[in-house]
Amino acid sequence: MSPLITSILISSLSTGTIITMSSYHWLFAWFGLEMNTLAIIPLISKHHHPRATEAATKYFLTQAAAAATILFASTLNAWTSGQWSILHPTTLPVALMLLIALAMKLGLAPMHSWYPEVLQGITLPTALLMSTWQKFAPLTLLLMMFNELPQNILLTLGLLSTYIGGWAGLNQTQTRKIMAIF
């Protein structure tokens, strides 16, 4: 891949994150998340290897399912409240669907099974990019909704992620899987 294409992909990755982090409208937030997804897929499959292709496919399918859930929940929120605001999910089912979708995007504990497998099939610099930069946008959306979500569910999600990460990382020897677990 040429340096020009790589720089365009990195700049669109950062632009998607900035769009998501600065939006108060679910459609713009979804657009930024999808821009991130579409920018990282060529970086994942840059090395023409079957493991990289498998990782890109797993990543795409998981992120597409999470994006569809975000669109469905935000449409349901707009239908019940008449507004597309991120700060005000109207009902508990909408908030829970958004929490599940953002947990899938982040690779948190109950929805994390795709994450170690994807990181195992990609290069270390791309894994570092996915483990850091790719998490900023969904985490920002989760923090924007923090006051509207039930606190015990967020606490359970955090504790479950910590416990599963600790237990799964005990006998692990592969660096990328350790990064995915923690």
Per-residue pLDDT of 98-133, as tens digits, reads: 989 999 998 887 777 888 888 888 988 898 899 899
What's the burial of 125, exposed, middle or buried (CB within 10 Å: 0-12/13-18/19+)?
exposed
What is the per-residue pLDDT for 109? 77
- Tell me, yes or no, if the pTM score tops 0.75: yes
Domain borders along the chain are 3-180
Nearest to 113 by CA among 126, 124, 104, 100: 104
Q: What is the mean pLDDT of the chain?
A: 86
Nearest to 21 by CA among 143, 156, 147: 143
Phi/psi at 113 (nearest 5 deg)?
-65, -25
Give the separation between CA 174 and CA 81, rounded to whole angstroms: 47
Phi/psi at 172 (nearest 5 deg)?
-85, 135
Q: Which residue has the higher pLDDT, 9 or 162?
A: 9
